[in-house]
């Protein structure tokens, strides 16, 4: 079965002050029907740029310089702006953004905003759009939908706005939803609620989701498949259970080990040292921070390789189990 979305060797570069920033530097990613695929990475990993590249809503300085983005057998990188607008954005692929306070227009009621989307893409009248919208609100568990319909964004809480945004994203029955940190900006208890609701909705409707986040806990709860991103490339990818149970790439290993809950209070947390700073020009991008590196890691290019069924990593030393054990006791001063 062909995949719904197939990203091949995507490269998006930004021009800043005369130098080039390789935000996305060779990403291969796929999403199949009714699958929830996670894209996890810290700040600066380039994950949001992948989403923006997909919908072609990059800022001025950004450009897709290579790669193909095949959605339903069409390379959407080659579509014109008009085609993207009318056929893809909002209808086939829709996006949910992180910050609830800024993703809606403060001058219009939420009802007006969602009906405008419905009217635009589904070519229906005002009354029909309103009925559909209220129905959608009910579905995403917006309490008292009729009065919320008439509310302005500033009158709603963060959780409520995110629910509205989710409703808007689902309104035109897209095949793929890109969720860029949809629950990160919410309070913990609300985050939990919205997450559960959204998860149920996804499985009920059967839509595919590309879920972008920095929170591994969320990935574990919601996703079927996970891609771990660092400095513009994917370091590890595989089914969620496989990767979480057996993280082979030292970066994934370090990330998973960073959560303090696993350790005794006030003990030293073994985490990844340093920060995303200089990236070596060739070889492994994680080299400066890797606890199990050696000179071989700076060779030409390191490719993704299959280590198990449906589990790929970009590392040549991961199987060196002894090295991994040593990494646990590696000197962990967070010096920069």
Partner 1 sequence: MLDIIDVVPVYTAETEGIPWNEAIVEVNHLKKYYTVRKRVIDKILTKKQKYVRAVDDISFVIRKGETFGLVGESGCGKSTLGRCVLRLESLTAGDVKVFGQNIHPLSDKKLKNFRKQAQVVFQNPYSSLPPHKTLGNMLKEVVAYHKTAERDMLKEYCRDLLDRVGLSETLYTRRPRALSGGQRQRAAIARALATEPKFVVLDEPVTALDVSVQAQILNLLVELQKERDLTYLFIAHDLSVIRHVSDTVGVMYLGKLVELAPSKELFEKRLHPYTKLLMSSSPLLSEVYEIDRVELTGEVPSPIDLPAGCRFHTRCPFASSSCRQKEPELIAVNNGHFVSCFLATQ
Task: Please report, as ranges, the residues that interact with partner 1 according to CB under 8 A.
Answer: 42-43, 143, 157, 187-193, 214-217, 220-221, 254-255, 258-261, 263, 265-266, 268-269, 271-273, 275-277, 332-336
CB closer to partner 1 out of 73 and 335: 335
Closest contact distance (angstroms) between CB of 62 and partner 1 is: 21
Closest contact distance (angstroms) between CB of 68 and partner 1 is: 31
Residues 23 and 45: their CA atoms lie apart, in Å, by: 7
Residues 209 and 174: their CA atoms lie apart, in Å, by: 10
Measured between its terminal Cα atoms, the distance across the chain in Å is 47
Residues 13 and 141: their CA atoms lie apart, in Å, by: 40
* Dihedral class, residue 307 (left if φ above 0, else alpha if ψ from -120 to 50, else beta): alpha
Tokens of 91: 């209808």
Closest contact distance (angstroms) between CB of 157 and partner 1 is: 7
Closest contact distance (angstroms) between CB of 258 and partner 1 is: 4
How many angstroms from the chain centroid is the CA of residue 77?
19
> Is residue 225 a contact partner of residue 239, using CB atoms and an 8 Å limit?
yes
CB closer to partner 1 out of 90 and 159: 159
Closest contact distance (angstroms) between CB of 140 and partner 1 is: 15
Q: Identify which of 172, 176, 169, 199 has the alpha carbon closest to the alpha carbon of residue 31.
A: 176
CB closer to partner 1 out of 114 and 255: 255
CB closer to partner 1 out of 53 and 252: 252
CB closer to partner 1 out of 1 and 336: 336
């Amino acid at each position: 079965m062909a995949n719904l979305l197939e990203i091949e060797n995507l490269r998006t570069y930004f021009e800043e002050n005369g130098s080039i920033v390789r935000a996305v530097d060779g990403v291969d990613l796929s999403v199949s029907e009714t699958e929830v695929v996670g894209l996890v990475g810290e700040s600066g990993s380039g994950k949001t740029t992948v989403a923006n590249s997909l919908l072609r809503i990059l800022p001025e300085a950004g450009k897709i310089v290579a790669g193909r983005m095949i959605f339903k057998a069409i390379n959407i990188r080659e579509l014109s702006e008009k085609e993207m607008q009318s056929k893809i954005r909002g209808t086939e692929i829709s996006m949910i953004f992180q910050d609830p306070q800024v993703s809606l227009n403060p001058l219009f009621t939420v009802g007006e905003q969602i009906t405008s989307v419905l009217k635009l893409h589904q070519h229906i009248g005002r009354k029909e759009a309103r009925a559909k919208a209220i129905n959608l609100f009910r579905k995403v568990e917006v309490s008292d939908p009729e009065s919320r319909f008439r509310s302005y964004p500033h009158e709603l809480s963060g959780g409520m706005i995110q629910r509205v945004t989710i409703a808007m994203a689902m309104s035109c029955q897209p095949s793929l939803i890109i969720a860029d940190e949809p629950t990160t900006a919410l309070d913990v208890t609300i985050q939990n609620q919205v997450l559960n609701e959204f998860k149920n909705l996804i499985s009920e409707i059967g839509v595919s989701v590309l879920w972008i986040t920095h929170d591994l806990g969320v990935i574990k709860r919601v996703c079927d498949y996970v891609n771990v991103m660092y400095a513009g490339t994917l370091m590890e990818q595989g089914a969620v259970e496989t990767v979480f149970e057996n993280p082979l790439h030292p970066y994934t290993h370090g990330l998973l080990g960073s959560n303090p809950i696993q350790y005794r209070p006030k003990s030293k947390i073994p985490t990844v040292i340093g920060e995303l700073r200089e990236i070596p020009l060739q070889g492994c991008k994680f080299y400066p921070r890797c606890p199990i590196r050696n000179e071989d890691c700076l060779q030409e290019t390191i490719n993704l390789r299959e280590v198990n069924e449906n589990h790929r990593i970009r590392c040549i030393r991961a199987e060196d189990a002894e090295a991994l054990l040593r990494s646990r006791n590696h000197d962990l001063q967070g010096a920069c």
